Amino acid sequence: MKSFIPREVETLWTLFTAPVVWALHFAACYATVAVFCAKRLPASFSFDSVRIVLFVVTLMALGVIVFAAWLAWRQWGFGDDDPPHNEPTRDSRLLFQGFATLLLSGLSFLAVVYAAVPLMFIAECQP
């Protein structure tokens, strides 16, 4: 079966994918709530609507991070070769990049969940 996604992704963008998704999610959540609370939009658009929109954004961000982690795990060789990957070879560099991306993806996943937790506890905008 032919895969459309290359087995080895030799770019640093894969390393930064998960942290960038986390940063965009963080900015989107806090900016959306701040603008909503500052503008006091009509009653037809409630804070529960904001919660639902941000819940969907959170799920999309987690999906992208899980996909990046899966690509990193695949690049790392499904964990067949243990770290450290410190030899001056191309294969060692690719394994290191895959392992580092996998760790950053895990950290970013937790950060997105942590940034979304306040949405469950905030009842409404405070004057």
Q: Which carries the bigger pLDDT value, residue 52 or residue 14?
A: 52
Confidence (pTM)? 0.81
Q: What is the mean pLDDT of residues 4-13?
A: 62
Q: What is the sign of the dihedral through the CA atoms of 26, 104, 21 and 68?
A: negative
- Residue 7 belongs to some domain of the structure: no
Query: Looking at the domain assignment, is residue 5 inside a domain?
Result: no
CA distance 17 to 26: 14
Q: Which domain holds residue 113?
A: 13-119
Only one residue has tokens 């895959």, namely 98
Number of domains in the chain: 1
Coil vs helix vs strand at 88: coil
Per-residue pLDDT tens digits for 27-68: 999 999 888 888 876 667 788 888 999 999 999 999 999 998
- Would residue 34 count as lying in a domain? yes
Residue 127 resides in a domain: no
Q: Give the pLDDT confidence of 73-114 residue by residue, as tens digits.
A: 877 765 556 656 555 666 666 777 778 888 899 999 999 999
